[in-house]
A and B are shown apart, each in its own frame.
Chain A
């Protein structure tokens, strides 16, 4: 197995993301899987930030503890990130010193060769491609695609500086590194979690999106805006999250699939709208990009602290869906499912993400748009018998929908308790019927949920349970532990609520230990399982704002359950 890990570091505003992205794309086209995570501070310029790129010939979704290569675009960043480099690794920096360091004068080369130090990024790209022995044609193509948007001259200068830096590195490179050989390119794609959520929302039939910008969810409305001239989706930046969710509900009431996206602080403002969605039975998809709280917390870091909030938020009692995709591949089925389920049951669907999922670049095998099948949940007006009842009492609890204005049938929705027609009522018999009607959906909603239970549950010693974005890391850990002799399985929940629990979990005689791994302090999902009667044998939690690494989880599990 070939795996190379790279940190590109520098101040905010120095364009390290561009360096990383260009390298990632070039490597992808050389037939590799990539995973890239971004670590940055809540500021516009300065500070320390990094783009961490893992290149592998196997699927990858986690970061290592130590890296092979550090490219520092900024002198002050070098000592900050140097401790993350392996002993066998290389540090490439203007202030590179020591036996593992390569002195690289990105800015000087940019000025000498390109005539401007803004091409320093291209120089860094060139140096890395030289060290990795990449096919420069791949780099050249990506640079051309990215910079010809500005002008052909800018693209040419970037290519010139990158080629010069690459050639010089190859010529002078004393630090030998096994070259990244060309593999067959099966046409994989890379995209960020946010881009994937936006793309799958489009595929899920979304027609309207309103949001107030908030890290780490802003990328979703940005992508929908950039592509709106092609998709015809209407997007609107709302004045606040109250407006965002209410606009989305208006659009949904009028007859289109709609969504909004925010982070915890914005979701706080949205919860009255969540309750409105429930009472008016208006479908809506809400992406909740979690970040470390309370309050403003760590705006640009990662945490899974809002599961309980998503589950219990809003006044009154009502059923809801909660999903949490683990990567850009399964966000495909999750996002489409969120739209489909919300439409079918006329309930809100919350999709939990976090910075680790949202801002990371993930490799996706293929998109399979052909297999998408959406169900139009609106009835034809001519099929409506008699006066239309927005909230007809049915056996399933699901009432049919029509669009206002489409026929003489009027659509009446109310946030007050209402009768079947949607008119305000204080008839307490009707109240009781309506509460029961809304809750009757829960049984069918639960049937819709899938939890992937591995066959080898009883044969295993440890079962690692996670949810959402930690899934990929935890699945890698299960593989590592099994290889090292501790039979380990992993279950990652992406379809969280209504909750389904494998029956084996309730077996009092089960031998396997259940360890729940979460990027939060209290172990929220573990708590939910415990409340349902599952014995939890161990919890591993991380809450410093950083994602887990496979190594640290492996170490933790081994400490208690390992063979050694």
Chain B
């Protein structure tokens, strides 16, 4: 059985002291422990920002790519080697802003990838500008008289697009978060896990503010019920649901799961057959 120490590496973190990313990192490791995933089976693809540094802080294969582009890289990796457990780790600006188009089409394509989004509602690494999920009216150094754009609702968007697995976690409820991440990885298809991640430096709200507003979706919510899921995702008010909102089992990309990395070169017989059509 895997132990949490199996995923420990000795990198020095560039996260702020007290950052809720540390908790998320632990939840990710605990999800791997739950699933007994060996480090070499895992590939984490990340973008740019503070959250995408996460894969450097644990033991696994890593592709730390460009801002916004984690999903297509992950899609390529999983497509040619379906035996790998493939995750992406990004922040809200990276995943919902710069990479927005890839997200829309990943809903449609449905690769067997789990995407973790550290949603802190702010561009923290660039020192505090609004992100696609910042609430209306929030004042920042750049949006000095308040954000004017409607915030993106990633969960509602995902459900509308029939995303295969849609969940929300909270960086202040790490046991439940580890359960959600494990369920997302286990799910066959694209799993979007949006995590409420209070930013210790630029966040409007800190963890204690969320504590009495967050609740877990329990057995009375059926993730197969799309309308109920959508209602929960679109809900406004004082209560914030976490847990698995929606599960939709559907065909994945690619249709045939073949490990293409095992074969090298091209069969000359195939080439000769193709050649014939040009005579």
Contact = CB atoms under 8 A, between A and B. Distances in A.
Report if A and B associate in a common complex: yes
Interface of A: 28-29, 187, 189-191, 195, 199, 202-205, 207-208, 210, 227, 230-232, 234, 236, 238-240, 242-244, 246-256, 258, 272-273, 276, 280, 364, 367, 369-370, 372, 374, 376, 403-416, 422-424
Given A247-B76, A404-B61, A189 B278 contact: yes
A417 to B, nearest CB: 11
List 10 A-B pairs, minimum CB-CB distance, nearest first.
Answer: A250-B76, A246-B72, A255-B261, A189-B278, A239-B105, A247-B76, A404-B61, A250-B73, A251-B76, A243-B72
A318 B31 CA distance: 39
B64 interface: yes
B83 interface: yes
15 contacts: A29-B279, A189-B278, A189-B279, A207-B260, A231-B274, A234-B79, A234-B254, A239-B101, A243-B75, A250-B72, A250-B73, A367-B275, A370-B268, A405-B40, A405-B83
Contacts of B69: 242-243, 246, 272-273, 276
A404 to B, nearest CB: 4
Contacts, number: 195
B81 A254 contact: yes
A415 B268 CA distance: 37
Given A253-B63, A410-B59, A414-B62, A369 B80 contact: no
A526 B59 CA distance: 51
B260 A280 contact: no
Nearest to B276: A189
A247 B61 CA distance: 17
B74 interface: yes
Contacts of A412: 56, 61-62, 64
Given A227-B274, A232-B258, A249-B76, A273 B66 contact: yes
Name the residue among B65, B83, B265 with the largest chain A CB count within 10 angstroms.
B65
Interface residues of B, number: 57
A561 to B, nearest CB: 40
Contacts of B258: 232
B260 A232 contact: yes
A250 B75 contact: yes
A346 to B, nearest CB: 14
B252 to A, nearest CB: 13
Given A243-B102, A405-B61, A424-B56, A199 B274 contact: yes
B62 A413 contact: yes
B76 A413 contact: no
B265 to A, nearest CB: 5
Interface stretch (B41-49, B124-132, B157-165, B235-243): B41-49
Given A230-B273, A243-B72, A208 B64 contact: no
Contacts of B43: 254, 404-405
Given A189-B279, A239-B101, A415 B81 contact: no
A205 B271 CA distance: 11
Nearest to A253: B63
B30 to A, nearest CB: 20
Given A246-B72, A249-B65, 8 more contacts: A189-B275, A202-B266, A210-B76, A242-B101, A246-B69, A247-B76, A255-B80, A280-B65
A236 B63 contact: no
Nearest to B256: A234
